[in-house]
């Protein structure tokens, strides 16, 4: 049902935790399944994501997609990270069961919200 990559990221999630005073923070949830995900980012002066962490309350697929998107986004510029799509996350995990595709949506949406939060802070600085 789940690929080896999904199981690895579920059993050994990367970049878990909270960043104190993050450059940006984004939280999304799916009331239907109960998944809740927050992504924190640190962005340097060149608009590169230098640190990224997540906290997820949800199923194994939600944890795996959170972990994978942090690996995909770190080291990328804000513009590059915004291009990471829902399908990109699922493909990097060698696929997700159709009933779990919404988890990749949450991960991509949480990253987008964190970036938008960063951009809002920059505009108001």
- Provide the annotated active-site residues: 33, 103
DSSP 41: E
Beta-sheet pairing, 24-30 with 49-57: unpaired
Q: Which residues have CB under 8 Å from 68's CB, separation 6+?
A: 5, 9, 89, 92, 93, 107
Number of H helices, E strands in the chain: 5, 3
**How far is 97 from 79, CA to CA, in rounded Å?**
29
Six-digit token string for 97: 């069961």
**How far is 32 from 87, CA to CA, in rounded Å?**
21
């Amino acid at each position: 049902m789940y690929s080896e990559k999904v199981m690895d990221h579920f059993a050994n999630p990367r970049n878990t935790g909270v960043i104190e005073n993050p450059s940006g923070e984004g939280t999304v949830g799916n009331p239907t399944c109960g998944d809740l995900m927050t992504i924190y980012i640190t962005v340097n002066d060149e608009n590169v994501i230098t640190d990224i962490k997540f906290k997820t309350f949800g199923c194994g697929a939600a944890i795996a997609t959170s972990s994978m998107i942090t690996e995909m986004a770190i080291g990328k510029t804000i513009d590059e990270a915004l291009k990471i799509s829902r399908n990109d996350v699922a493909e990097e995990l060698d696929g997700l069961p159709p009933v779990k595709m919404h988890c990749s949506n949450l991960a991509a949406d949480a990253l987008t919200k964190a970036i938008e939060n960063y951009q809002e802070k920059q505009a108001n600085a």
